[in-house]
A and B are shown apart, each in its own frame.
Chain A
Amino acid sequence: MNARVIGTALRMQLAESRRQPAHLLILVTSPLFAVMFLSIAKHSSSDVAIVNAIFAPALISLWFLSLDLGGATINRERWQQTLNQLIGTPARLSAVVFGRVLAVVLLAGLTFVEAYLMARFIFGVHVRIPHPWLLSGTVVVTLFAMAGTATALAGLFVLSRQVLLFQNAMTYPFYILGAVLVPVALLPVWLQPFTRVFFLSWASELVRGSLRPEAVSLWPWRMVAIAGLGAAALIAGVVMTERVVDRLRRTGEAAYS
């Protein structure tokens, strides 16, 4: 993918987001999820639950944003009747999508800060982070995986006219699979293998591990798992998007897709 195209798409998305800040929705909903999770945990006086609840809203926001971006990035072009022009340029559509997604990924990083502030100042949780570098590294790698996954979802959704249905159906089932609050070990045994092909389950475990004093076992491999799944999703997204674009070019259906 061309870095210049990615950079231009990134700048364009930033300019668009300034005028239509729809993505800011997660900065409003994330604290409300924090209120729910932290109140449940504090009410039960469970230390384990409190630790798990601190960054769960941020992890939920990551997935929500992936779905939102995956669904909206290409579809908005279609609704605005600008998909033809976009496909007509020499730039690869997948690079444009990835660049636009990257612009919003930084916003997702903010939800971690927000989750910390909610726990610390609204619920009075003394948040100790014994492994700050592990937490920072996990957030960075997870944001990359999120961008890759959003690109894959864009490729998946590009031909669908029922994007909203898919987006809606893929929220809570994936919060469970991503073990954002309840660890994988507590999920039904038959479900556990499926969690392993989803980057968020690895990220959730590492984020929670970074908040506990004991050493986190095999953290480099877990980090590789997140990055690998993100890269695989990105490659799949690029291939899917380019195939769809090729097909639309051949059949001349872009404006009617």
Chain B
Amino acid sequence: MIMRLRVMGQSLVLGIAEYRTIYTWRSWLSGWIVRMLAQVSFFATIGFMLRSSANVRYLLIGNAVVLVCLEASIVVLTMAGERWGGTLIALLTTPAQPITVFLGRGINWVFTGVATSAITLALLPPLFGVPVGALRLLACLPILVIIGLAAYAYGSFLAGLTVRWPSFDWLVLNVGYLVVMAFAGVNVPVDYWPAVPQAIAQVLPVTHGLQAVRGLLDGASYGYVLSRIGLEVLVGLFWLLAASLSYRVFVSHARRRGTLDM
């Protein structure tokens, strides 16, 4: 267990170092954060078009929270990048368990995703006239981390597809998070959908965590909030198991056939 945590820690350090080669503080704030603020503003202004402050609130909070999922899902590109770069094999020759290495490789996206989501939730509600209590917002932070971890597990499962077919990396990433944005209660309540999409939404990351965030901000009972958090954790564990199995099958198959880089 300690070994696994150490590997995860090293993955985090590596991920952050890699992130710093892409972004400086300036380009992160002026490029990434401004883009994310614009994304949430785009959806919140639909509420203006609908002339409904309730819609502005619903769309703003939903789209701010889903950013953590969007960013955590970028692990899809990280893993495809290892395949493209020919470094996948190097990851497997380390003494650590391959599955631990694979599952830890993009863990940094959870932390940057939580930061992006939290900044957006702190900055935009006042600009759009959406009242949100500062303490309640602060209490949402641990829920954002849980959503981020569940979304990361979901992203890792998707990454299991892109290590097999790396040329589909952008397709898998986009479809993966757009499905969450469309059906997980981000823009319309889950019960708006017919039975099948509703059932799918129950196993998507964000669905239950977002309900917990909305409940917390709207003053719902702690029992309700905790039950939603519990469901989000279960969804995360489900995807973690699916991702582990997917990676395990990929690694053993590729090792046997010597096709890890092909």
Contact = CB atoms under 8 A, between A and B. Distances in A.
B50 A29 contact: no
Interface stretch (A31-39, A98-106, A236-244): A31-39
A36 B187 contact: yes
B59 A173 contact: no
Contacts of A14: none
Contact of A165 (B23, B171, B178): B23
Grouping DSSP codes into helix (H, G, I), strand (E, B) and loop, the B interface class, with mixed when no group exceeds half, is helix
A32 B34 CA distance: 23
A27 B35 CA distance: 23
Contacts of A165: 22-23, 27, 31-32
B91 interface: no
A251 interface: no
A218 interface: no
Interface residues of B, number: 36
A40 interface: yes
Interface string B31-58: 1101110110110011011101001000
Q: What range describes how many residues of A lie at the interface?
A: 20 to 34
A3 interface: no
B179 interface: yes
Nearest to B193: A39
Interface string A202-231: 000000000000000000000000000000
Given A172-B39, A176-B38, A187 B45 contact: yes
B50 A171 contact: no
Contacts of A186: 45, 48-49
Grouping DSSP codes into helix (H, G, I), strand (E, B) and loop, the A interface class, with mixed when no group exceeds half, is helix
Given A25-B170, A39-B192, A176 B41 contact: yes
Given A43-B188, A168-B32, A176-B41, A28 B50 contact: no
A233 B146 CA distance: 46
B254 interface: no
A168 B39 CA distance: 11
Interface stretch (A46-54, A128-136, A145-153): A46-54
A175 B42 contact: yes
15 contacts: A32-B179, A35-B182, A40-B55, A40-B188, A43-B188, A46-B49, A162-B22, A165-B31, A169-B30, A169-B31, A172-B42, A176-B41, A182-B49, A186-B48, A187-B45
**Closest 10 pairs (CB-CB, A-B):** A172-B38, A32-B178, A172-B39, A169-B31, A173-B38, A43-B188, A35-B182, A182-B45, A44-B50, A169-B35
